[in-house]
Chains A and B, each alone.
Chain A
Amino acid sequence: MMKDWEVVIGLEIHAQLATRSKIFSGAATAYGAPPNTQACLVDLAYPGVLPVLNAEAVRMAVKFGLAIGAQIAERSIFARKNYFYPDLPKGYQISQYEQPIVGRGALEIVLDDGATRRIGITRAHLEEDAGKSLHEGLANATGIDLNRAGTPLLEIVSEPDMRSAKEAVAYMKKVHTLVRYLEICDGNMQEGSFRCDANVSVRPRGAAKFGTRAEIKNLNSFRFVEKAIQHEVARQIELIESGGTVVQETRLYDSDRDETRSMRSKEEANDYRYFPDPDLLPLAIERAFIEAVRASLPELPDQKAARFVSEYQLSGYDAGVLSASRETGAYFEAVVGRVGAAHAKLAANWVMGELSSALNRENLEIDAARIDPQRLGGLLERVIDGTISGKLAKDVFEAMWTEGRDADAVIEAKGLRQITDAGAIAKAIDEVIAANPKQLADYRAGKDKLFGFFVGQVMKATGGKANPAQLNDLLKAKLGGG
């Protein structure tokens, strides 16, 4: 059934800009303060107050625009979007409508099959966030918290270029990575710093015209984006196939029930009566400012991944994972700095493997890792110089993680130094062979698989410390009838 339909998705991502103060007032933007303690007279829309644009928000928007290769408007306009709602103190939201600060750009996403896909970005514009309505603990009343009112947002509007929920998630993750690289958004989705609306439609494959779209509002996790789109696509296809038509409307995703529900139809939609905000002059951005921002851009995710491939001979996949955040890239490169570029692949495996699972287990960010890159590098050096085996290194890693000690200290304390003395290994092999005559006979009769059994027994006898390569060679020789 699905193969007859093509899914068309466009996202409107709202990234909260990481400015210290609000976009049009001097009030702080920090999350989690008691209600209405971070709302000044401007945020409360007191009579007579006026907005003054935060230059830092402008700089951040320009940064984003340059990172997606977009044209930065030398003149952009703030407009008023008029509607009544208690969490909107002025009765209008200051946004950008006809002339946004960031014009057309694009990002590339990598699909599961390794192919890349270019997702167009129509525009990105600056606007202010609204406050919040509070219902908990209030009988017959709604509380209003205006701490968030006036927080700067960058609304990033994509083209309808995505063809599946997975692509939408890949694109959203790409934008998420980018805004964090640029340090313009903390990307905290639980706190609502990064959220999106999804425009979803379906059409018969090959059709030239788009189907009627529904807009799913306020999705604040990658999982919800994926599930909400999947649900919505299924709903639309089922509706059309049973003879119905999709109506243009705004829908809400209910994550508890995993379904979307209609909020309002196009007919019920507000007429926002946009017009240029007369309190704010057109925003003029000089070439020199744009060039200064360009010069301050960090290495971007795609650039970093490409460099990891060329500099460290990593696979595209590894390079992608290690460049997914600035912090991960920095950690990886610090480890490489210790062990040398020749061992970059080993470093990559450890960062993506043991370290990553330890972080996941304890739900930590990489900069809160209990083993810093220097110590991890120290551990890898012991693997490289043969002091311990890779397998033992994992135990050492765990000990380092919990005890907070250097690799060498752990190795010493636990007596884990690898046995490389051929005589000692041979002695252990002899003992194992002597103790297992039946298995020896079977092996010599052709049961090659028993080789592993002997390796295991010798390792057990040596407390796992036998050098694996030496053990292999000696065991092979002895089992062969030596």
Chain B
Amino acid sequence: MSWHARSIAELAAALERGEISSVALTRHFLDRISGLNGALNALITVTADQALAAAAVADRRRAAGERGPLLGIPLIHKDIFCTDGVRTSCGSRMLDNFVAPYDATVVARLKAAGAVMLGKANMDEFAMGSSNETSFYGPVRNPWDLDKVPGGSSGGSAAAVAARLAPFSTGTDTGGSIRQPAALCGVTGIKPTYGRVSRYGMIAFASSLDQAGVLARSAADAAVALGAIAGFDPRDSTSVDAPATDYTAALDAPLRGLRLGLVKEFSESLEPRNGALIAATLDAFRALGAETTTVSLPSLPLSVPTYYVVAPAECSSNLSRFDGVRFGYRCADPRDLRDLYERSRGEGFGAEVKRRIMTGTYVLSAGYFDAYYLKAQQVRQLIAGEFRAAFQQVDLLIGPTTPTPAFGIGAKIDDPVTMYLNDIYTIGANLAGLPAISAPCGFVDGLPMGVQLIGPHFAEGRLLNAVHRYQTATDWHVRAAPGYA
């Protein structure tokens, strides 16, 4: 089996047995990137020299007796994570010239684990988008169909893993930005509990919703990768001071007695072929010993409008620091301070980012704050409460990740509201801070579809276990996009 088709555990074993060095493995993936990325546009920056140097270090560490599940394993970081000495663009013209002077905690932890960064993945500008079309660096193409979007905002991360340009990648998920592209590209992506992974060094979109996670080809691989980045970080005040668990330990636990709740509000209006896939997925889980019921979260349909108040509000404030003064894009020959602000931001930000800054500024304004921001926070509490109640009845919730498979590049970009509805099934978990995972569960029109499982806080282990058992019984996740096997 070719190196890029192997699991992280298989690669680690091969490294351990000396069948391949990290340098050779890294070179293999770099070659794949140089051959395939041109068509996919999944990476904004390829850090070949740094990668080979890091791989050599990993090989030396192994030779010195060090061990670890990610020692010498390549990966790709979403370009939202600050990487010391490497451009960190966040998919924006605003940061096209920004070389981060420090590593994000996620980056530092993976570095410490010996993982080798191959480059930085393309993404929607400032993580605002569901199709990767808002990137300053152009759209990413879906390996399953180059005319289709990969989803977003972690579209580059998802496409790169689907095209097997790396065994895994990092992503961030504010309203579905890991799970939706994972579903559309046929890979496994997990968004952990809010606070489980440090946000330090991850360029903020909506601070109360943003959460870092990983995309990989299987739950087993995702468990290894997540284990490396999860844990308390004193530099992030919202990081949870609880020990991270070994997510690989319980992967094989049987699912007998696992109570899965099909979310009524997600399943009612499903497109029939999507509905059939979810029904088949439930059958597969029942065959593994799980029990399934239907549970209702009546306020969940309000999650999209709620999100599009809360997220823009926070982003309007978070993005104020991009003012052309200290770093990033600065307009040419500013006349005065106001001109510097207006043109630097006007020229540096793309249309979707501006739309959200304006929306957010509006909903926080005097006279509108109560009707929008405060109301949205109340609905958010309501939704969180309904999730809590649901988890009294079931262990995990289950449903589709997206309403449809990948759509055409250009098909929805001019219609923001239709675009926003892509995240209808994923946003609830962000509003409630819950962990959620998307895994491949079949195809519609030859394009991959995902099933989403949502758990109570800190149930990452249970989610990975459920999906891993499902993946031992099914083979959706091992299918490669044509031409990328």
**Chain A residues in the interface with B (C-beta under 8 A):** 41, 44-53, 80, 82, 84, 86, 89-92, 142, 144, 271, 273-275, 278-281
B188 within 8 A of A: no
Give the contacting residue for B320; candidates A86, A91, A271, A279; CB below 8 A.
A91
Nearest A residue (CB) for B80: A48
Q: Is the CB–CB distance between A279 and B207 below 8 Å?
A: yes
Nearest B residue (CB) for A78: B237
Give the contacting residue for B95; candidates A47, A49, A92, A273; CB below 8 A.
A47
The 4 closest A-B pairs by CB, nearest first: A91-B320, A278-B208, A278-B207, A273-B364
Q: Is the CB–CB distance between B102 and A41 below 8 Å?
A: yes
What are 19 A-B residue pairs whose CB atoms fall within 8 Å in the complex? A41-B101, A46-B100, A46-B101, A47-B100, A48-B81, A48-B204, A51-B237, A82-B316, A89-B326, A90-B321, A91-B317, A91-B320, A271-B366, A273-B316, A273-B364, A274-B364, A275-B364, A275-B369, A279-B238
Inside 8 A of B81's CB, which chain A residues have their CB? 48
Inside 8 A of A45's CB, which chain B residues have their CB? 321, 326
Nearest B residue (CB) for A91: B320
Cα distance A274–B364 in the bound complex, in angstroms? 7
Give the contacting residue for A84; candidates B200, B207, B208, B323; CB below 8 A.
B323
Q: Is the CB–CB distance between A275 and B327 below 8 Å?
A: no
Inside 8 A of A144's CB, which chain B residues have their CB? 325
Inside 8 A of B201's CB, which chain A residues have their CB? 48-49
B287-322 vs A, Cβ < 8 Å mask (1 yes, 0 no):
000000000000000000000000001101101111
Nearest B residue (CB) for A87: B325
Q: Is the CB–CB distance between A91 and B323 below 8 Å?
A: yes
Inside 8 A of A273's CB, which chain B residues have their CB? 316-317, 361, 364-366, 369
B20-45 vs A, Cβ < 8 Å mask (1 yes, 0 no):
00000000000000000000000000
**Chain B residues in the interface with A (C-beta under 8 A):** 81-82, 88, 90, 95, 98, 100-102, 104, 199-204, 206-208, 234-238, 313-314, 316-317, 319-323, 325-328, 337, 341, 361, 364-366, 369, 373
Q: Is the CB–CB distance between B327 and A47 below 8 Å?
A: yes
Q: Is the CB–CB distance between B203 and A48 below 8 Å?
A: yes
Q: Is the CB–CB distance between B317 and A47 below 8 Å?
A: no
CB distance from B309 to the nearest CB of A (A): 11
Inside 8 A of A89's CB, which chain B residues have their CB? 321, 325-326
CB distance from B322 to the nearest CB of A (A): 8
Nearest B residue (CB) for A36: B326
Q: Is the CB–CB distance between A52 and B238 below 8 Å?
A: no
Inside 8 A of A52's CB, which chain B residues have their CB? 234-237
Cα distance A156–B327 in the bound complex, in angstroms? 35
Q: Is the CB–CB distance between A48 and B101 below 8 Å?
A: no
Cα distance A144–B327 in the bound complex, in angstroms? 14
Q: Is the CB–CB distance between B317 and A82 below 8 Å?
A: yes
Cα distance A344–B245 in the bound complex, in angstroms? 68
Answer whether A47 and B98 are a contact pair too, CB < 8 Å, given A82-B364, A91-B321, A92-B317: yes
Q: Is the CB–CB distance between A48 and B82 below 8 Å?
A: yes
Cα distance A91–B323 in the bound complex, in angstroms? 8
Answer whether A46 and B365 are a contact pair too, CB < 8 Å, given A52-B235, A82-B317, A92-B320: no
Give the contacting residue for B200; candidates A49, A80, A281; CB below 8 A.
A49
Q: Is the CB–CB distance between A279 and B325 below 8 Å?
A: no
CB distance from B180 to the nearest CB of A (A): 22
Cα distance A272–B98 in the bound complex, in angstroms? 29
Inside 8 A of B361's CB, which chain A residues have their CB? 273
Q: Is the CB–CB distance between B101 and A275 below 8 Å?
A: no
Cα distance A337–B175 in the bound complex, in angstroms? 70
Cα distance A339–B361 in the bound complex, in angstroms? 69
Nearest B residue (CB) for A142: B337
Q: Is the CB–CB distance between A50 and B237 below 8 Å?
A: yes
Answer whether A82 and B320 are a contact pair too, CB < 8 Å, given A48-B82, A50-B237, A278-B207: yes
Q: Is the CB–CB distance between A271 and B365 below 8 Å?
A: yes
Nearest A residue (CB) for B98: A47
CB distance from B110 to the nearest CB of A (A): 16
Cα distance A46–B323 in the bound complex, in angstroms? 11
Inside 8 A of A41's CB, which chain B residues have their CB? 101-102
Answer whether A47 and B90 are a contact pair too, CB < 8 Å, given A41-B101, A273-B317: yes
Inside 8 A of B234's CB, which chain A residues have their CB? 52
Q: Is the CB–CB distance between B238 and A281 below 8 Å?
A: yes
Q: Is the CB–CB distance between A47 and B88 below 8 Å?
A: yes
CB distance from B4 to the nearest CB of A (A): 30
Inside 8 A of A44's CB, which chain B residues have their CB? 326
Cα distance A280–B102 in the bound complex, in angstroms? 22
Known: A84-B320, A273-B366. 6 other contacts (CB 8 A): A46-B101, A46-B327, A47-B100, A50-B237, A52-B236, A90-B320
Cα distance A90–B204 in the bound complex, in angstroms? 12
Inside 8 A of B337's CB, which chain A residues have their CB? 86, 142
Inside 8 A of A281's CB, which chain B residues have their CB? 237-238
Cα distance A50–B203 in the bound complex, in angstroms? 10
Inside 8 A of B236's CB, which chain A residues have their CB? 50, 52
Nearest A residue (CB) for B103: A48
Inside 8 A of B95's CB, which chain A residues have their CB? 47
Inside 8 A of A275's CB, which chain B residues have their CB? 313, 317, 364, 369, 373
Nearest A residue (CB) for B201: A48
CB distance from A134 to the nearest CB of B (A): 14
Cα distance A84–B365 in the bound complex, in angstroms? 15
Cα distance A90–B317 in the bound complex, in angstroms? 8
Inside 8 A of A271's CB, which chain B residues have their CB? 365-366
CB distance from B84 to the nearest CB of A (A): 11
Nearest B residue (CB) for A81: B317
Nearest B residue (CB) for A271: B366
User: Quick one: which of A44, A82, A89, A275 has the most chain B CB within 10 A?
Assistant: A275
Cα distance A86–B320 in the bound complex, in angstroms? 11
Cα distance A62–B237 in the bound complex, in angstroms? 21
Cα distance A293–B167 in the bound complex, in angstroms? 53
Inside 8 A of B200's CB, which chain A residues have their CB? 48-50
Cα distance A48–B337 in the bound complex, in angstroms? 25
Q: Is the CB–CB distance between A86 and B325 below 8 Å?
A: yes
Cα distance A256–B328 in the bound complex, in angstroms? 41
Nearest A residue (CB) for B319: A91
Inside 8 A of A51's CB, which chain B residues have their CB? 237
Nearest A residue (CB) for B362: A273
Cα distance A271–B317 in the bound complex, in angstroms? 13
CB distance from B439 to the nearest CB of A (A): 29
Inside 8 A of B365's CB, which chain A residues have their CB? 271, 273
Nearest B residue (CB) for A90: B321
Nearest A residue (CB) for B365: A271
Cα distance A274–B313 in the bound complex, in angstroms? 11
CB distance from A445 to the nearest CB of B (A): 87
Inside 8 A of B326's CB, which chain A residues have their CB? 44-46, 89
Nearest A residue (CB) for B199: A50
Cα distance A281–B237 in the bound complex, in angstroms? 7
Cα distance A278–B373 in the bound complex, in angstroms? 13
Nearest B residue (CB) for A275: B364
Inside 8 A of B373's CB, which chain A residues have their CB? 275
Cα distance A50–B317 in the bound complex, in angstroms? 14
Answer whether A278 and B314 are a contact pair too, CB < 8 Å, given A47-B88, A273-B364: yes
Inside 8 A of B364's CB, which chain A residues have their CB? 82, 273-275
Nearest A residue (CB) for B198: A50
Nearest A residue (CB) for B342: A84
Q: Is the CB–CB distance between B320 and A48 below 8 Å?
A: no
User: Quick one: which of A45, A144, A281 has the most chain B CB within 10 A?
Assistant: A45
Inside 8 A of B316's CB, which chain A residues have their CB? 82, 273
CB distance from B128 to the nearest CB of A (A): 15
CB distance from A41 to the nearest CB of B (A): 6
CB distance from B292 to the nearest CB of A (A): 36
Cα distance A259–B311 in the bound complex, in angstroms? 46
Inside 8 A of A278's CB, which chain B residues have their CB? 206-208, 238, 314
Cα distance A56–B98 in the bound complex, in angstroms? 34
Inside 8 A of B199's CB, which chain A residues have their CB? 50
Cα distance A274–B326 in the bound complex, in angstroms? 24
Inside 8 A of B88's CB, which chain A residues have their CB? 47-48
Answer whether A50 and B325 are a contact pair too, CB < 8 Å, given A84-B341, A273-B361, A273-B364: no
Cα distance A261–B88 in the bound complex, in angstroms? 46
